[in-house]
Amino acid sequence: NAGVTQTPKFQVLKTGQSMTLQCAQDMNHEYMSWYRQDPGMGLRLIHYSVGAGITDQGEVPNGYNVSRSTTEDFPLRLLSAAPSQTSVYFCASTYQGTSGPFEQFFGPGTRLTVL
């Protein structure tokens, strides 16, 4: 199993450009999430999904879109990049057992710089 994969690893954008961060998992997990990590602020939830076709907003959704057409893939779209979106982005997946949610499996992260 590859686990959770993210591409690209690094990206530099200019203000106003759009792009999609890719995330895929091969563990058949129903739950997937996107977080951003900024210095001194921990990880903050951007968007999440509880299954194919179902997405919802997290704590900091503005400027980002998601869709979930398959169980495996959960891309994050930046509509018009801003310097405030400079961050490290992590994708995660997990599953819900009878005893509640299990730990989230994280991808390696994408380091995004917006100039």
Partner 1 sequence: AQKVTQAQTEISVVEKEDVTLDCVYETRDTTYYLFWYKQPPSGELVFLIRRNSFDEQNEISGRYSWNFQKSTSSFNFTITASQVVDSAVYFCALGEETSGSRLTFGEGTQLTVNP
The gap from C-alpha 23 to its chain's centroid, in whole angstroms, comes to 7
Q: How far is the CB of 13 from partner 1 (least distance, A)?
A: 20
Residue among 33, 71, 85, 87 that touches partner 1 (CB under 8 A)? 33
The gap from C-alpha 108 to its chain's centroid, in whole angstroms, comes to 11
- Helix/strand/coil (H/E/C) assignment for every residue in 10-78: EEEECCCCCEEEEEEECCCCCEEEEEEECCCCCEEEEEEEEECCEEEECCCCCCEEECCCCCCECCEEE
| Cα 12 to Cα 4, 17, 79, distances in angstroms | 22, 10, 15
Residue among 19, 27, 45, 82 that touches partner 1 (CB under 8 A)? 45
Tell whether residue 8 is a contact of partner 1 (CB under 8 A). no
Tell whether residue 48 is a contact of partner 1 (CB under 8 A). yes
Residues from 84 through 103 that contact partner 1 (CB under 8 A): 88, 90, 92, 94-96, 99-103
Tell whether residue 50 is a contact of partner 1 (CB under 8 A). yes
Q: Give residues in contact with partner 1 (CB under 8 A).
A: 31-33, 35, 40-45, 48-50, 58-59, 88, 90, 92, 94-96, 99-106, 108-109
